[in-house]
Amino acid sequence: MGETGGVAAVERALTILDVFTDRDPQLTLAELAKRTKMYKSTLLRLARSLERFGYLVRADDGTYRLGSKLLKLGALYQRHFDTADVVPDILRSLVDELKEGASFYVPDGDRRLCLHRVDALRSVRDSVHEGDRLPLNVGAAGHVIKAFTGSNGTSYEKVRRQMYAASFGERDPEVAAIACPVFGLGQRLVGALAVSGPRYRIEALGVTPILRALLKHASQLSNALGGATDDLAAALGTLPRSQKRIARVK
């Protein structure tokens, strides 16, 4: 572990914290040893230090769970995190890959706010600007935000299952868009990452390249914001290798 220039004891301690998951919030010493591939004697020594500083808690039955200090650090991170630190770079990468405009929308009451936007370097493009407040009931990003903030219905269940929404001419008859959710701490929806452009170009480009890029970057952004990426990665893994037509969300 120390070969890359890090401190071996610190890296081992962080490895212990990394093996806890939503499905396994409490682990025995034997389970920790199996997951970390460390000797129990090493684990006990590191666990005592983590306990002293509040990063681990040892229950009466001998199992371990994460301590409250991590919650404090997470809250500090979230409070002082600025999406401007990471989102624009993600949007630029999307535009470079797909040659269409990319936006990041957040919920704003009964509408969605375009918080960040990078335009495609093409003379014909859709018109979206940072600060625009758009409806939630039309447009791919609106569907994603509604689906992951509790809206019910078959169409929203489909968005939650597929991890994306697509719209064709809903807000503007000549514009199409595809969007994916971005998650933060506690798997709370932070916003929707969207690619949009002239309808004929989006349809010609096809679902595979758009969704591959969107899901990949939505995972990167979710990871940066403290969200889990399992569902986004699973959706990416189900994409076909090629597909001529974009599947519309009805």
- CATH number for 71: 1.10.10.10
Q: Please, which pLDDT band fits residue 192 given cuts at 50, 70 and 90?
A: very high
Tens of pLDDT, residues 88-128: 999 999 999 999 999 999 998 899 999 899 999 888 888 88
CATH of the domain at 153: 3.30.450.40
Residue 249 confidence (pLDDT): 41
C-alpha separations of 23 from 105, 197, 200, 237 in Å: 30, 40, 44, 21
Whether residues 133 and 179 fall in one domain? yes
More confident residue, 194 or 76: 194
What pLDDT shows up at residue 46? 96
Mean pLDDT within 175-180: 95
Say if 196 falls within a structural domain. Answer: yes
The total of structural domains in the chain comes to 2
- Which of 79, 94, 124 delimits the end of a domain? 79
Q: Quote the CA–CA distance of 141 and 159 in Å, as a whole number.
A: 11
Same domain for 123 and 232, yes or no, is yes
Q: For residue 115, give the nearest of 100, 102, 96, 124 by alpha carbon.
A: 102
Q: Please give the Cα distance from 197 to 95 (Å, whole number).
A: 11
Same domain assignment for residues 66 and 110: no
Angle 204-209-211 (CA atoms, 0-180°, nearest 5)? 110
The angle at the Cα of 135, spanning 85 to 198, to the nearest 5 degrees, equals 75
Which range (177-191, 206-220, 235-249) has the least confidence? 235-249
pLDDT in tens, 34-50: 999 999 999 999 999 99
Confidence of residue 247 (pLDDT cuts 50, 70, 90): very low
Residue 120 lies in a domain: yes
CB 162 within 8 A of CB 85: no
| DSSP-H helix ranges across 148-191 | 154-162
Q: Are 231 and 159 found together in one domain?
A: yes
Residue 43 lies in a domain: yes
| Residues 71 and 104 occupy one common structural domain | no
pLDDT in tens, 70-84: 888 877 765 665 788
On whether both 6 and 90 belong to a single domain, the answer is no
239 pLDDT tier (thresholds 50, 70, 90) = confident
**26, 54, 79 — which closes off a domain?**
79
Residue 48's domain comprises 2-79
The pLDDT of 192-220, averaged and rounded, is 93
Structural domain contains residue 250 = no
Q: Which residue has the higher pLDDT, 76 or 243?
A: 76
Q: What percent of the chain has pLDDT over 90?
A: 67
End position of a domain, from candidates 79, 105, 127: 79
pLDDT for the residue numbered 83 = 81
pLDDT band at 231 (very low <50, low <70, confident <90, very high): very high
Residue 84: predicted pLDDT: 81
Lowest pLDDT segment from 20-29, 67-76, 215-224:
67-76
- CA-CA distances (angstroms) from residue 228 to 7, 55, 68, 250? 27, 20, 19, 27
Percent of the chain with pLDDT over 70: 91
pLDDT greater than 90 at residue 3: no
